[in-house]
Amino acid sequence: MKYLKIAIMYVCVLTVGSSNAQADGNSVADVDSATINYIVELVDNSIITGKKVSDDGREIGIHTSDKGLVLIPKYKIMLMTVASGDPKSIGNRYFPNPHPSRYLYSPSGININKGEGYFQTIYLLIYQVQYALTNHWSVGLTTSILGTPTLLNVKYTNVILESNDRQRNLYVAAGTQAGLLHFFSFEDKLGIGYAGLTFGNSESNITVSGGVFADNFNVYSGGNITTTPAISASFNQRVDKSISIMGEFWMVGDYLIGGPGFRFYSGKKERGVLDLALLGYNNSAGTTKFFGLPFLSWTKKLGGN
């Protein structure tokens, strides 16, 4: 049972929920067009990238780096999205990160928009669905192919400091996740509470979080509660239009868990990401340790543009 709890705690560390709504996400309506680059896809499949400088209701003016001002009739526009915050995206088909609210499944302070969400699977065995109720609150459910563990989560996120170019922002996140570890015993529960800060933008950022794991508790009749403090550090660095370097590391009591990885972007229409990583585990109080466990996850964005 001890090792079962360690394994489940490891999975839970990698499946804490996330979301919210934020200006450097995908919403065209919520950004400052004077400093933000747009990707405009036309009905003839051509693409124009630049800053939006005018909109008279009939046509939109885009100032490009190579052609200057281009006036585009709205009936010719098939799709208009905010370009990635990375400077390399300008002039290229470089769509935003569709899943900036998580790393290798640690949460960030960056959110998704109200009414949006995502579906995620880890190893095709563990599943999570997340949905943003408002611009600051989201809820989610985590379970497995066997229906156990079953965990519910709630998360709050917000931007507390924003730079003029919206590339060096400071975000805050706080949340909780709790539920049954398995359906063989309703007494065996797990709860997680955490808070953290994220610095950067949706393409390149770093997050530091702290929290507490609690197990062996009964919310109805009381009883003994075992708590374990936890801290984490995670990062994401966009290096190409289709790749990010990512990583996350957790210290949970005497256990160090985590490792480096990559995120692969499938494009605007698919709006999904594939995460691959090599993870390790070390118990500083003993001799148990390993590195090189392959990690595989696929996430699909739901709703929104």
Same domain, 69 and 160: no
Same domain, 104 and 78: no
Domain of residue 241, CATH code? 2.40.160
Task: Output the CA angle 66-68-72, nearest 5 degrees.
Answer: 110
Same domain, 7 and 125: yes
Round to whole Å and give the CA distance between 56 and 110.
Answer: 32
Same domain, 60 and 137: no
**pLDDT tens track, the chain, 305 positions:** 443 444 444 444 444 433 333 334 433 434 444 557 787 878 777 788 888 888 888 899 988 877 888 899 988 887 777 765 554 554 555 677 889 999 988 899 998 889 999 999 999 999 999 999 999 999 999 999 888 888 899 999 999 998 887 788 999 999 998 887 665 555 567 788 999 999 999 889 999 999 998 876 554 445 567 788 999 999 999 988 889 999 999 998 888 999 999 999 886 666 899 999 999 999 887 777 888 899 999 999 998 76
Determine how many CB atoms are found less than 10 A away from the CB of residue 28: 14
Same domain, 170 and 230: yes
Q: What is the pLDDT of residue 222?
A: 54
Same domain, 73 and 158: no
For residue 286, give Cα distances in angstroms to 13, 248, 254.
Answer: 21, 22, 9
Same domain, 62 and 149: no
Contact 172, 109 (CB under 8 A): yes
Contact 61, 80 (CB under 8 A): no
Same domain, 198 and 280: yes
Decide if 212 is inside a domain: yes
C-alpha distance across the termini of the chain, in Å: 45
Burial class for 182, CB neighbours closer than 10 Å (0-12, 13-18, 19+) = middle
What domain count does the chain have?
Answer: 2
For residue 225, give Cα distances in angstroms to 63, 174, 179, 190, 212.
Answer: 60, 21, 14, 10, 12
Q: Which two tokens stand for residue 90?
A: 């300008």
Q: Which two tokens stand for residue 112?
A: 């998704």
Decide if 208 is inside a domain: yes
Same domain, 103 and 148: yes
Q: What is the pLDDT of residue 28?
A: 41
- Beta partners for residue 295, in sequence order: 277
- Beta partners for residue 160, in sequence order: none
Determine how many CB atoms are found less than 10 A away from the CB of residue 62: 24
Of 221, 214, 207, 202, residue with least CA distance to 258: 207
Decide if 31 is inside a domain: no
Q: What is the pLDDT of residue 22?
A: 37
Same domain, 106 and 233: yes
* Domain containing residue 132: 2-23+97-302
- Beta partners for residue 12, in sequence order: none
Decide if 266 is inside a domain: yes
Determine how many CB atoms are found less than 10 A away from the CB of residue 219: 9
Decide if 88 is inside a domain: no
Same domain, 160 and 242: yes
Domain of residue 73, CATH code? 2.30.30.100
Round to whole Å and give the CA distance between 92 and 242.
Answer: 12
Same domain, 127 and 269: yes
Matching residue, tokens 């919403």: 27
Decide if 16 is inside a domain: yes
- Beta partners for residue 31, in sequence order: none
